[in-house]
Structure 1
Amino acid sequence: MGRGDLSDAEWARLKPHLPKNVGRGGRWKCHRRVINGILFRLRTGIPWRDLPSQFGKWQTAYDRHRRWSADGTWEKILRAVQAGADAQGRIDWSMAGIDSTVCRAHQHAAGARHQAPKVPGRRVRPAHHRDDEGLGRSRGGLTTKVHLVGEGGLRPLALLITPGQWGDAPQMIPVLDRIRVPRTNGGHPRTRPDHLAGDRAYSSRRNRRYLRRRQIKHTIPEPSNQRANRLRRGSRGGRPTSFDETRYVRRNEVERLIGKLKINRAVAMRFDKRAFVFHGTVTLAAIRLWLRS
């Protein structure tokens, strides 16, 4: 086993959730060897063509990662691993944090060909396809933003990819709606934490109304301009927002989680042209955190 490869314990957790075969054609090459190659590229951020020969053909690793990113296989594996951890009581639902991070995009991440509209009889668009490819343009260059919700054990529950200039508050609801941890003994999946902590970027009447409707307690500071606007409106401005400083201290957990994800160079800087491939790259980094816990 090389540095960064799957350990025997991690492989034992991951193996039951992998696809059995490719369907028409031949069988998959050795899953463990190929996934170790994909993890090597995730950790180092090297071009696919420079993948060491010990992991087999680079084209095999690239094709499998792209295919599993497109058809949602990485997401299915993430949810399966989360379900196993939840069945063992290893998910801290008492407190979750929400935050985002900007990832610089390499110049090779731009220039993806425009996808033609769907035509009957032709291959459908891959999952997570975006017309903007999740790239934001600013004076600093190309950027992509990763929005995520993390539980108290410093592991991600859900994530979302957007262009770098998109705000945090409008993406809070879409990220929370992506939390779906299946239950191994049947029943509806777990979709909400007991408490949510976020910085003042997530403070809005729409977000607070959504959290109250879903009965999610929250600790989100109110910006000074929103407080002044509420006071100016008098009784029509509503009641003051509650704020628990002791709970807000735990918001550092999601920031530490982001640091763990961005240890991987392919996450810290985006090299993938397609948004759905980069989404698969970040999802794979999340799977590795769950396997190591």
Structure 2
Amino acid sequence: MVRRHELSDLEWEALSGLLPRSSTGRPRLDDRKVLNGIVWKLRTGSAWRDVPERYGPWRTLYTRFRRWALDGTFTRMLAEVQAEKDAAGDIDWLVSVDSTVARAHQHAAGARKKGRGSGDEVCDHALGRSLGGLTTKIHLACDGRGRPLGFVLTGGNVSDCTRFEDVLDTIKVPRTGPGRPRTRPNHILGDKGYSSRKIRAYLRKRGIGHTIPERRDQRGHRARRGRGGGRPPAFDKQLYKHRNVVERCFNRLKQYRAIATRYDKTRESYQAAVTLASLLLWVRPL
């Protein structure tokens, strides 16, 4: 019997062949049981110690999660699932970009800083301090069906436009056969937060069409310059209506309470949690 928040047989079948295998050492706890425990923890936002005993010792779950987070297992699994979908023609390359803020719980603070450190929490563990306290921002690109293609974590006080190129750089869908990964969308949809000359020039240079509304102050500045202000950027109002898929993507990701509120101290753990939640969006029917 499949319990609430657990993987269905079809979902486990899609993921089981992507998990790393161990042929040496003592027999380890069943991977399906462990993955179900990790998913239960993400969905409920509970502490590791509170995961039900039916999933095994909580220390085993945490150790397996951290191992898979640090060795890139979740990232590799997501890339392989995306490659299969792309080979089947199941990716809509009308890509939408946006960001969402996740409030950080008090337990997320206090992780040891890396390197020399300048006291900049944004650089250390993707935590930013603002009037509302500590927050993390997820900058994300999704396909036309609302499934994550790539994302970047920063502090919640970081502007969207400053991470636009970084987000597009995370789109790397491998080919199932020979050839380089696909990195270029057919078209980009973004809100006014991405309306800048630098971003538009970057997209033109890469040959990527885009639909981004112009900000009011930019329209006024161009009008004051007269002919020297140039023509307004093209804007397809009907196409722009499809941008809401990225909002629906965030809505589905935040069904995982450990994503909606950040409890993880380190960037690696929270990034692995978002990656695993993104992976489940790809294998679960829309």
TM-score bracket, normalised by the shorter chain, equals: over 0.9
The answer to whether the 8 Å contact 2:92/2:143 transfers is yes
Using the alignment, how far apart are the partners of 1:254 and 1:179 within structure 2? 15
Alignment of 1:1-293 (within 5 A): 1-21=2-22, 25-26=25-26, 28-93=28-93, 95-116=94-115, 131-293=123-285
Using the alignment, how far apart are the partners of 1:131 and 1:160 within structure 2? 12
Question: What's the CA shift for 1:116?
Answer: 4.0
Deviations 1:169-199 (A, max 9, x none): 0111100011011111221111121111110
Question: What's the CA shift for 1:88?
Answer: 1.3
* SS of corresponding position for 2:177: coil
The answer to whether the 8 Å contact 1:37/1:55 transfers is yes
**RMSD of aligned residue pairs (Cα, Å):** 1.8
TM-score, normalised on structure 2? 0.94
Using the alignment, how far apart are the partners of 1:58 and 1:28 within structure 2? 14
Deviations 1:107-145 (A, max 9, x none): 00000012246xxxxxxxxxxx97431111112111100
How many residues are matched?
A: 281
Amino acid of the residue matched to residue 244 of structure 1? D
Amino acid of the residue matched to residue 32 of structure 1? R
Using the alignment, how far apart are the partners of 2:181 and 2:202 within structure 1? 19
Amino acid of the residue matched to residue 18 of structure 1? L
Q: Which moved more, 1:34-43 or 1:61-70?
A: 61-70
Q: Where do 5+ consecutive residues of structure 2 fail to align?
A: none
Using the alignment, how far apart are the partners of 1:234 and 1:27 within structure 2? 74
TM-score, normalised on structure 1? 0.91
The answer to whether the 8 Å contact 1:22/1:28 transfers is no
Question: What's the CA shift for 1:29?
Answer: 2.6
The answer to whether the 8 Å contact 1:45/1:266 transfers is yes
Question: What's the CA shift for 1:152?
Answer: 1.2
Question: What's the CA shift for 1:8?
Answer: 1.1
Amino acid of the residue matched to residue 13 of structure 2? A
Q: Where do 5+ consecutive residues of structure 1 fail to align?
A: 118-128
Question: What's the CA shift for 1:216?
Answer: 1.1
